[in-house]
Amino acid sequence: MSPFEIQFAATILKVVFCLVLSLHVPALMVWIERRQCAMIQRRVGPNRVGFFQFRLMGLGQSLADVIKLLFKEDTPPAAAHKFYYWLGPIITAGIGLSAFAIIPFGNFVLVAGEQIQLQGINLNAGFLYLLAISSLGVYGITLAGWASNSKYTLLGGMRASAQMISYEIAMGISLIPIVFIYGTLDLNTIVQAQTGYMFGVIPAWGIFKAPVSFVIFLITMYAETNRLPFDLAESESELVAGFHTEHGSMRFALFFLGEYVMMFVLAAFVATLFFGGYEIPYFPQTEMVAQLTPMLGQSMALWAAAIIGFHVLIVKIGFFMLLYVQVRWTFPRFRYDQLMKVGWVYLIPISLINVAVSAIIFAIIKSI
């Protein structure tokens, strides 16, 4: 097989892998969310639904939920605009599923002499793709809210999309110092640049080099996915169910899916940009491969290192997903005007000042 064919087949396999991984996340997260919220609220949570007499701590609950949602009756409102009613959930779910592809989950492996980068697709635009994805994700909510032709949903949809576009700005600006520090937008290069040490002891993670960026990105991450403390648009006590009131059964499942997958993608971004991605702190992949090669040979050593790196990334992503759930069940939610005030009056100026200060510090460091 020619190199082009190998790379083409590898790309298709990687993209399918990213898709399948993203699709598994909501199923697991439903169970984690309900059990963890139960733990926070000092009760037990779903622990009965299992398979074939085995309780399995209630892991079958997700499957039961999916089956229920699939078989529920779909009741579109009579006056709904059919095309957009149908398009809203599709955009939300589809956009989220396509975002995981640029996250690197390993360095590279060798297949038939060809070096295959373990990143779904390697874009020239790098992590600007994420900003593009969240920009397009606004349409799912806006169209879904409007298409149901009802007061509550329109209001919820407008609020949710206004919130998302406001926090998108702070998210984008807070990522500029990352470009100063690493000089590139490519995520694999950024992960590789985090393998060194600062002051000889601390791993050179992004969070130590750009802490303010990390904090702002973390806050905007919650706002982008409409999770507490920013979930006024879909809160049960405020607007019935916000923009997805009239979307029942599988449409609601698609919104749910889109939200969890977006959480997963953003958690992966934080792990990649600020916490070293698939690299273990004091044991970089190159050293791991060098130590494994005498035992397994070069090619198998690379595969073993790749698998270990992937699991390290999953552990880091898991930490941020758990943080999502903890924050949801701990904090009260913002009122809408408080929410917009935080986005425009506090976060955007802080991120702009962050850019200016980072630029000055970077220029000083570079000229030394």
Partner 1 sequence: MDLTTLSFLILGCLTVILSVTLITRRSPVAAAVSLVGAFVCLAAMYGLLEAHFAAVIQIIVYAGAIMVVFVFVIMLLNLPPEELRFGRLTPGEGLIALVGVIAAVALTTKVTDGALQVVSSNLPSGIARPPYYADSENLKNVAALLFTDYLWAFEVVSFLILVAIIGAIVIAKKRGRHVKPS
Least distance to partner 1, CB of residue 134, Å: 8
Least distance to partner 1, CB of residue 133, Å: 9
Decide: is 154 part of the binding site for partner 1 (CB under 8 A): yes
Decide: is 176 part of the binding site for partner 1 (CB under 8 A): no
Decide: is 28 part of the binding site for partner 1 (CB under 8 A): no
Decide: is 131 part of the binding site for partner 1 (CB under 8 A): yes
**CA 229, 213, 120, 128 torsion: positive or negative?**
positive
- The partner residues of 198 in beta bridges, in order of sequence, read 202
Q: Are 77 and 246 in contact (CB under 8 A)?
A: yes
Alpha carbon of 257 to those of 28, 29, 91, 96, 232: distances in Å?
Answer: 11, 10, 11, 8, 19
Size of the site for partner 1 (CB under 8 A): 29
| Other beta carbons less than 10 A from residue 293's beta carbon | 16
Looking at beta carbons only, is 126 or 309 nearer to partner 1? Answer: 126
- Quick one: the chain helix, strand, coil %, rounded to 5? 70, 5, 25
Burial of residue 139 (number of CB atoms within 10 Å: 0-12, 13-18, 19+): middle
Q: Which of 2, 124, 237, 367 binds partner 1 (CB under 8 A)?
A: 124
Decide: is 109 part of the binding site for partner 1 (CB under 8 A): no
Looking at beta carbons only, is 226 or 285 nearer to partner 1? Answer: 226
User: What is the residue type of 150?
Assistant: S
Residue at token pair 């982008």: 224
Decide: is 139 part of the binding site for partner 1 (CB under 8 A): yes
Least distance to partner 1, CB of residue 69, Å: 27
Least distance to partner 1, CB of residue 303, Å: 29
Decide: is 93 part of the binding site for partner 1 (CB under 8 A): no
Looking at beta carbons only, is 124 or 367 nearer to partner 1? Answer: 124
User: Token pair for residue 243?
Assistant: 């923009």
User: Token pair for residue 126?
Assistant: 């790098």
* CA-closest candidate to residue 267, choices 322, 336, 223, 196: 322
Give contact residues for partner 1 (rule: CB under 8 A).
81, 83-84, 87, 123-126, 128-129, 131-132, 134-136, 138-139, 142-143, 146, 154, 158, 161-162, 165, 168, 172, 184-185
